[in-house]
Amino acid sequence: MAVTPAARRAGRDDVIARLRAVLPAQALLTHPDEMMLYEYDGSALDMALPDLVVVPGDTAETAAAVRIAAEAGWPIVARGAGTGLSGGSVASEGGLVISVARLDRILAIDPAGRSARVQPGVVNVELSERAAPHGLHFAPDPSSQKSSTIGGNAAENAGGPHCLKYGITTNHILAATLVLSDGSIVTLDRQAPDAPEYDLLGVVVGSEGTLGVITELVVRLTPNPERIQTFLAVYDALDAAADTVSAIIAAGIIPAALEMLEGDGIRVVEESVHAGYPIDAEAVLLIEIDGLHEELETQASEIAALCDRHGARALQVARDEEQRRRLWAGRKGALAACGRLKPHYHIQDGVVPRSRLSEVLRLTRSVAARHDLLIVNIFHAGDGNLHPLLLFDVREPGVRERAIAASEEILRACVAVGGTLSGEHGIGLEKRDYMSWIFSDADIATMLAVRAVFDPRDVMNPCKQLPTGASCGEIRHAAGAARAVAAGAWI
C-alpha cells in the first residue's frame, strides 16, 4: 500500500539521496517549477504535482528508480507525452513520475520480420516515418500521433481512425520489457507463435500503467497499401449519415477509416481549416478505403451506391494526395476548431453497436438540449466509437456540473444499448467509478487479483482504471480544459 502524503514528505530527502546514487544528475527533477509540466494530461480532468520526477535513460535506471520508490511506498506513475484523455498519467496520489522522454530511440527496424524494436518514448508518427522507406508503417494512429509515445499508446491501448480495419494497439504489440514494482525486469515476448505461455502481454497492453513500467517494445509494422482512396459524403440529415455507416458495415465492407462530423462542427472546421466541407451540411462522412486496386474499385462502387441509397447529397472523391490531406486536416483539426464555439470542452468516448448509431446520436442531441449545452459529434463512426464533444464556458455558473451530468447520461445510453465506457481514451481517473456500470463486483475483483500478481505492493499507478474502494481520493474536475486544444490535439 502507498504511504500517506505526510510520510512521503518526511521520507523525500532520503528518496532523493537514493535516486541520486543511481541516476545521472539531470535525470532527477525535484523543484516544483520543473515538475509543473508533469501535473496534468490532455484531459485536464485532474491535476496533481508529483513528489519527484525521474527521466531514466535505460531499463536498468528505470528498474532502480522503481525499486527505490516502491520500497518507500510511493505511488509510481509512468508518463509518455501526457496527451492521455482519462487522467492515466496524472500523479493523483502523488509519488514518483517516471518520464520516458529519454527512452526515445528506435533500436531496430526489421523489414523482413515486419517489426520494429523501440523504446517507449518514441513518438508514434516518427516510427511510421522511419519505416516508410521499407514500405511499412505503424498502424495505430491515435489523433495525438504527432506527440504521443508508443509506450503511452501501448499502456492505453490507443486507437485511431485506421483501427477500424487494422485493429487497435494491442493487435500491433509483439513484445514488451516490463519493470515490475519489486524492481525486477520481465520480457513478455510473443514474436514466436504458439509459445507455451499465458498471454500476459495481452493484459499488460491497455493496463494503463497499473501493472508495471514498459521500457522497451517490439511492435508490428504493416505494409503500406497498394492504393488509397478517400471520399467525402455530404448529408442534409444526421440520421441519413448514421444509417449509411450502419449500412456499409452491414454490407460487410470494412473501410480503412469511416469518420463522421456533424452539426456546428462542420462549419467551424471549414472556417478554420478550409478542408472543403460544405458549411450548410448537417453531417459529413470521411470514408477511406485502401488495399489492392481491384478491391478499391469494387468497394468504391458499393460505397457510392450505399451513400446514394441512404440520401447523401453529394459524394466527392479526393483527386490527389493534397486534397486527401485537406480532407483529413479537417477531421484532425476539428477539436481545435471547436474552440471557436466555446472555450471549454469535455469529450466522451463511449462505444455503441454499429447498428444503433442513429438512435444514440439523436439522443446526444436531446441530452444537450435538455442540459442547455452545445454538442458536436466528431467521431470514429465505423467502429461505433462516439466522441460527443460537450462545449461550454466554465465562467457560466453551473455549466460544468451540467456538462458532467450530460456526459454521464450519454455514457449510460451507450451502455444501455450494449456498448461500453471507452473505445480508446481509457478509464484512468475519469471513468473509474463508472466501471461498475458494465462489470460486476466479481469481474472487478478478478481484475484486481491479476493486478496484485504483477504489483502486490499496489504502488503502480494506484487508484486508476479499477475502483478499489481503498483510500483513493475523490476525482476533482479541473477547470482549465482548453490545454489540449492549445497543444494541437485532435480526437
Partner 1 sequence: MELISPTSPEELAAVLAQASAAARPVVPLGAGIHQHLVAPPPPDALRLGTTALDRVLEHVPADLTLTVQAGARLGQVQVVLAGHGQWLPWDPPGGAAATIGGLLACGLAGPLRQAYGTPRDWVLGARIALADGTLVKSGGKVVKNVAGYDLHKLHIGAYGTLGVIVEVTFKLAPQPAAWRTLLAESADLAGALEMAARLAAPPLAPASVVVCGGGTHYRVAVRFSGVPAAVARQGQYAAGLGATALADAAAAALWQSLSDFGTPPDARPLVRLGIAPQQRDAYRTAIDALGAHDGVYQPTIGAARMLCADLAGLAAARAIVEPLGGAVVVEHGAGDAPRWGAARDSARLMHALRQRLDPAGVLNPGRAFVD
CA 318, CA 303: separation in Å to the nearest integer?
15
Residue 249 CB, nearest approach to partner 1 (Å): 6
Distance of closest approach, residue 420 Cβ to partner 1, in angstroms: 5
CB of 200 to partner 1, least distance (A): 5
Tell me which residue has cell 524492481. 183
Biggest alpha carbon distance in the chain? 70
Question: What's the closest the beta carbon of residue 43 comes to partner 1, in angstroms?
Answer: 15
Report yes or no: 349 and 85 within 8 Å, Cβ to Cβ. Answer: yes
Report the helix count and the strand count for the chain, using DSSP H and E. 16, 18
By the 10 Å C-beta count (0-12 exposed, 13-18 middle, 19+ buried), 456 is classed as exposed
Per the CB < 8 A criterion, the answer to whether 404 and 346 are in contact is yes
Q: Is the four-CA dihedral 23, 26, 31, 34 of positive or negative sign?
A: negative
Residue 141 Cβ vs partner 1, minimum distance, rounded to whole Å:
14
CB closer to partner 1 out of 39 and 424: 424
Judged by CB, which is closer to partner 1: 323, or 420?
420
**Complex with partner 1: residue 92 or 465, whichever CB lies closer:** 465
- By C-beta, is 364 or 422 nearer to partner 1? 422
Q: What is the DSSP string of 392-449?
A: E-TTSTTHHHHHHHHHHHHHHHHHHTT-BS-SSS--TTTTGGGGGGTS-HHHHHHHHH
The nearer residue to partner 1, 92 or 169, going by C-beta atoms, is 169
Task: DSSP letter for 171, please.
Answer: G
Which segments of 57-147 does DSSP mark as H helices, in order? Answer: 59-71, 124-131
Closer Cβ to partner 1, 117 or 130, answer by number: 117
Q: Find the shortest distance in angstroms from Cβ 87 to partner 1.
A: 14
